[in-house]
Every structure is written in structure tokens, then in C-alpha cells.
């Protein structure tokens, strides 16, 4: 396979090529592992906190292996993309052979760590790997199925935090996690479609979608997430609350505003990289802190 020389933008990064190939910026997605222990009010139990930390590290390793594998598979298409062409493998900074070796090491380490933490976590990670590899090899260009496969990756991250510590997952948690994942994935595709414009036809995963259809999907998913979270919040509010204040019900406000803020970014076509929004949008960060504080008052106090 002929590689292209590194671009100037790629050379300016201070991180080595092998580390950038693991996409450390996208590891922020693995914070979803904290969701189940947080919702159950057990995050600060030493055993649960440690198991959650190991689960997060294991998911970082396994997901990084999948990122490298996908970059090797998509190298030709990535070189036609305005930003993905700067990735180390597409830019010719890292050979596919080294990439496969790097992916194998991360995959083995992640699965070993996950299985050592909890056999159920090991199974969850293995399912994630199977789904993501199947997505890359077979389902990436199948409309609807590709959305479901990518959304499953987010959902499994949320499930991992529960299985790592043996925390039961409620129906409301699974609904919020499932449709929240679909919301993010459909929003990502919608933004990619707008960012590429006339060049969207070069990406087979996009050419079968229209912006109106993707808008429908992320709009419906957004509505289900808000409804499911609200039902959970009111259900939790029936129990004893600190100072008799319905903290979970109040948390609906920042939760909804944060989702609407993210939906605004989707509508602007700027949600192609969800981790970039999380790291750069100060308003979204403030809403997230307020929401976490309110939920913390409800479940921990």
C-alpha cells in the first residue's frame, strides 16, 4: 500500500504518531462508564470506584484498538476527508503494519484488564469488539444498521460501569442510555453530511441518508431521552430527599438544557466530533456540572 507523506498540520502535533493513532481525545466518551455507579449513588464506594476506574481504562484500550483498525480499513476514504486525512495512518506517519501491532497490544491488554476486573465486564468488552469489527467489515455502509451499531458502542460503555461492580441497571437507565446513544450518533452523521457537503458522496456511510431523515432520527431520540429521564427523575423523587427538596426533578432542567445545547450544535452541523464539543463548549460544561451536582445531592445525600 502506497502511503502519502505527512501533512504539515500532522507534523505540528506534539504527540507521537502512535499515540495520536489511538485517538486520546475520543477517550472522553468512556466517561459514560461512570453513569451507572453515579445513578445508583455508589460511585464513591472504594470497591465500586476502583472497578469503575479499571473499566474505564479497559474501554480506553479496547476502543483505541478499534480506532486503529478502522483507520487502517478506511485509509483511502480518510485521505479524501478534510480532517480525517490528518490522522497518522492516512497521513502516512504510521504504517498499517505498525498499526495492526498497536491495535493487537491494546486489544489484548484491554480484554485482560476487563476480565480480571469482572468476568461480566470482559464479556461486555468482547461484545463491543465483535460489534465494532462487524460494523467495520460488513455493516458500515448499511443504512439504519450502521446507526444502531455505533449507538451500541455508546450503550455498552454505559452498561460496563454497572457490570464491573455488579450494579443492577434500571429500565429507565437503559432507555436513556440507548436513545441518548442514538441521538449522538444520528447527530454525528447529520453534522458529517453538512460538513462534507458535495463531497458527502465520497463517504458511502452518508450517501444513503438525507439531512431531513437524520434530523428526524435525532429529534425523535432526543424526545425519548428527555421523557425517559424525566420519568426516572420523578420516580426517584418519591423517596426521601435531602431537606425535602426534589433534587432529581430539578435536575431535569439542566439535563434538558444541555441536550438542547448539543442539539443546537447538531443543527449547526458542528457535532461531527462529539468529544470536541464536550471539551470546548463552556456552556455545555457548566450545565453538566450543575446536573451532576443536583444528581449527586439526590443519590448520595
pLDDT-derived band at 275, boundaries 50, 70, 90: confident
Residue 241: per-residue pLDDT: 65
pTM: 0.83
- Is-contact 189 214, C-beta < 8 A? yes
Q: What is the mean pLDDT of residues 186-200?
A: 77
Report which of 127, 96, 130 is spatially closest to residue 114, judged by C-alpha positions.
Answer: 127
User: In the chain, where are the structural domains located?
Assistant: 15-169
Share of the chain above pLDDT 90, in %: 48
For residue 147, give Cα distances in angstroms to 69, 92, 187, 232.
19, 29, 10, 25
3-state secondary structure of 237: coil
Q: What is the mean pLDDT of residues 180-192?
A: 90
Taking only the tens place, the pLDDT of each residue in 80-123 is: 877 788 889 988 888 999 999 999 999 999 999 999 999 999 99
3-state secondary structure of 79: coil
According to DSSP, residue 34 is labeled G
Residue 277: per-residue pLDDT: 84
Burial degree of 119 (CB within 10 A; 0-12, 13-18, 19+): exposed
Residue 182: per-residue pLDDT: 93
The three cell numbers of residue 4 are: 502519502
Of the chain, the end-to-end C-alpha distance in Å amounts to 59
Residue bearing the bigger pLDDT, 183 or 278:
183
Residue 10: per-residue pLDDT: 43
Computed from CA positions of residues 89, 95, 96, 101, in that sequence, does the dihedral angle turn out positive or negative? negative
Mean pLDDT, the chain, as a whole number? 86
Residue bearing the bigger pLDDT, 81 or 181:
181
Half-sphere exposure of 150 (CA within 13 A, CB side): 22
> Distance between CA 40 and CA 299 in Å, rounded?
7
Taking only the tens place, the pLDDT of each residue in 151-177 is: 999 899 999 999 998 998 888 889 999
Taking only the tens place, the pLDDT of each residue in 232-262 is: 888 876 666 666 678 889 999 999 999 999 9
- Is-contact 32 119, C-beta < 8 A? no
Residue 12: per-residue pLDDT: 53
pLDDT-derived band at 228, boundaries 50, 70, 90: very high
> Distance between CA 230 and CA 223 in Å, rounded?
11
CATH class, range 15-169:
mainly alpha
| Contacts of 253 by beta carbon, 8 Å cutoff, 6+ apart | none
The three cell numbers of residue 70 are: 478502522
**For residue 3, which phi and psi values (nearest 5 degrees)?**
-105, 150
Amino acid at each position: 500500500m502506497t502511503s502519502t507523506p505527512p501533512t504539515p498540520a500532522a507534523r505540528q502535533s506534539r504527540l507521537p504518531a502512535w499515540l495520536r493513532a489511538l485517538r486520546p481525545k475520543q477517550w472522553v466518551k468512556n466517561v459514560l462508564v461512570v453513569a451507572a455507579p453515579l445513578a445508583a449513588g455508589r460511585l464513591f464506594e472504594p470497591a465500586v470506584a476502583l472497578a469503575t476506574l479499571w473499566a474505564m481504562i479497559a474501554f480506553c484500550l479496547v476502543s483505541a484498538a478499534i480506532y486503529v483498525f478502522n483507520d487502517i480499513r478506511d485509509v483511502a476514504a480518510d485521505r479524501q476527508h478534510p480532517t480525517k486525512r490528518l490522522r497518522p495512518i492516512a497521513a502516512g506517519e504510521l504504517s498499517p503494519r505498525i498499526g495492526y501491532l498497536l491495535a493487537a497490544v491494546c486489544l489484548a491488554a484491554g480484554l485482560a484488564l476487563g476480565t480480571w476486573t469482572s468476568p461480566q465486564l470482559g464479556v461486555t468488552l468482547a461484545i463491543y469488539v465483535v460489534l465494532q469489527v462487524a460494523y467495520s467489515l460488513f455493516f458500515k455502509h448499511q443504512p439504519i444498521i450502521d446507526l444502531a451499531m455505533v449507538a451500541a458502542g455508546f450503550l455498552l460503555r454505559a452498561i460496563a460501569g454497572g457490570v464491573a461492580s455488579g450494579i443492577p441497571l434500571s429500565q429507565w437507565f437503559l432507555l436513556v442510555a440507548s436513545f441518548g446513544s442514538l441521538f449522538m450518533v444520528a447527530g454525528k452523521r447529520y453534522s458529517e453530511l453538512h460538513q462534507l457537503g458535495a463531497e458527502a458522496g465520497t463517504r458511502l456511510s452518508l450517501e444513503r441518508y438525507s439531512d431531513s431523515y437524520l434530523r428526524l432520527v435525532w429529534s425523535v431520540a432526543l424526545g425519548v431521552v428527555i421523557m425517559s429521564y424525566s420519568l426516572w427523575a420523578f420516580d426517584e423523587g418519591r423517596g426521601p430527599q435531602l431537606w425535602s427538596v426534589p433534587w432529581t426533578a430539578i435536575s431535569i432542567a439542566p439535563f434538558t438544557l444541555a441536550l438542547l445545547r448539543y442539539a443546537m450544535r447538531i443543527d449547526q452541523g458542528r457535532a461531527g466530533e462529539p468529544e470536541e464539543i464536550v471539551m470546548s463548549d463552556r456552556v455545555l460544561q457548566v450545565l453538566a456540572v450543575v446536573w451532576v451536582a443536583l444528581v449527586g445531592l439526590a443519590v448520595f445525600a
